[in-house]
Each structure stands twice: as structure tokens, then as C-alpha cells.
Amino acid sequence: MSTERRYDEREVAAIFERAAEAEAREEPLAGEGLTLRELQRIGAEAGLSPAHIAEAAAVLDRDPPSSDLLAQTLGAQRAVYHSVRLPAPLTDADWEQLVAQFRSTFDANGKTTREGSLRTWANGNLRVGTEPTGEGGQRLRFSTRNASLSNGITGGLVNMVAGLVLFAVFALFDPAEPIFPVFALQFVLGAMLAGSCVVRLKPWAQERAEQFDRLGAQAIALTAGMPEAATVAAEEHSEPPLALDALPEPPVDEPIAPSPSWRRSHE
């Protein structure tokens, strides 16, 4: 019988954790770090899915929250910004596939332009474009701004201020003027307009942020050489097709009995 000590699961985990920490202290990473492909190769040796590693890298590459969601007014986001660093530059085929996803996601054809290596897809205030990051790298940047709701907030605030100022002026110089209810109504209507726009901005900004995050992950999967992962991600968030076979059969039209007057005219 062997007298060699055997370690349980908890002790094994502790041993490997300490060994990994010691290895990291003795052999620090080079200044340039590791590429996504190198991380995926190392992760595959450890039994990790390359697709999951790409998704985790996409989350890490996002801009800080302070610059990811800007232009806040009264707690509502007038604009949404998002960007991801791509593992490799987009090819023409990758860009065409992404443009198809943009049109499907936002339900808009948009317009594509290209200047050298820079590509842009835009539809109104909604823009998606590539930009260089140095050393041949590339970044995909998303941006949008809800102009209609933003203008509604501005208009509501202007009406509130105007109503308040006019109310104060007439109260100071002509307190007997019976027009006070008009200024009060102007203030209330302005507050209602601004408040309704603020309430509607929140779900809009949340939806756009989720769409930007999903499309950024698809772009990373494409440029990382995993088109299957990008296709699966797109299909998971696409609208289900209409199942025509599941629709009920239309009712059979019953023959219309001729009216008595019709019978008399033809007898």
C-alpha cells in the first residue's frame, strides 16, 4: 500500500492557485500583453470555450461607464455611445455581414460610406464606424442621439422657466392682473412635456445600449475567426419567422341563399 499523501479537492484547488500566483510573480507578461488569439489558445488548453473568451474580452474592451453613456439630462440619457476593439481589421465580407445586421437590428437601410480604411454606416443620428487604433488595430464605434425627445425636454424646460419668470414679473409689478393662471398652466404643461420625454428616454437608451453591446460582440466574433458564433448570436436575437403552417384555416364561405324578391323576379 502506497504511503504517498493524497490531497482532497479543496487542497488541490489551493495548491494550483498558489502555484499560479507564484508563476505570475516570477514570469510577468511582456509589456505588450497577449492578443485575443493567444488568450483563446491558452484558454482552449484549459478547457475554456474560445467564444466565451471573445465575449469576455468584448466586455473588458468597452469604454468606461462615464464615457459609454453620456449627455444625461434630469437622469435620462439623451445619447448612447459604445466602442469595442477588434482582434483584427474588418474585411469587406465582415463589413457587409455587419451592415446586414445593422439594417435588421435597427430596421433601417441607412447609408454606407468609405474613406480609405474608414467605414461608416449611418441612419440619421445613428452611426456605426471603424477607426484606427495604432499598430494596425481597429475599433468599432457606435453612437446615437434621440433628437426628438431631447428637443422635447428642452422645450419643456423653456416653457417652465418662461412661465415661472412671467408669473414672478406680473406678481411683482401688477399683482391685480388676472393672467396668473395662464402662466401657471404654461409651467405645468412644460413640466409634463419634459417629464414625459425623460420617462421615454430611459427604455430607449437601455435598448440601444443592449443592441450596441450585442453588435459589438458579433463584430469581435467575426474578426476573431468565429463566424459561427456571430451567426448564432444574431439568430438568438432575431425575430422568429411567421409560422404560416400554424395559422388556422380560413372559414369556408357558406352559399348565400337567394332572397324571396330575387326568386319572384326570376320566376
Q: Which pLDDT belongs to residue 104?
A: 93
Quick one: which H or E segment has residue 79? strand 79-86
What's residue 18's pLDDT?
66
Q: Is the full-model pTM beyond 0.75? A: no
pLDDT in 10s for each residue of the chain, 267 residues: 567 777 776 776 666 666 655 554 454 444 456 777 877 777 776 667 777 777 676 655 544 333 334 345 566 678 888 988 888 888 999 999 999 999 999 999 999 999 888 899 999 999 999 988 766 778 899 999 887 877 787 888 888 888 878 777 777 776 666 666 777 788 888 888 888 888 888 888 889 999 999 999 999 888 887 655 445 445 544 444 333 333 343 333 334 444 444 444 444
CB of 187 closer than 8 Å to CB of 135: no
Q: Which is nearest to 144 in space by CA: 43, 85, 71, 95?
A: 71
235 to 34, 92, 214, 239, 253: CA distances (angstroms): 31, 21, 12, 8, 40
Predicted local confidence at residue 97, as pLDDT:
93
**CB contact set of 161 (below 8 Å; sequence gap of 6+):** 190
- Residue 101 zone, left/alpha/beta (φ > 0; ψ -120 to 50; rest): alpha
- In this predicted structure, what is the pLDDT of residue 87? 86
Within the chain, residue ranges assigned H as helices are 9-26, 36-45, 50-60, 65-68, 92-106, 147-173, 180-223, 227-236, 260-266
Domain ranges of the chain: 43-237
Query: Which residue type is seen at 264?
Result: R
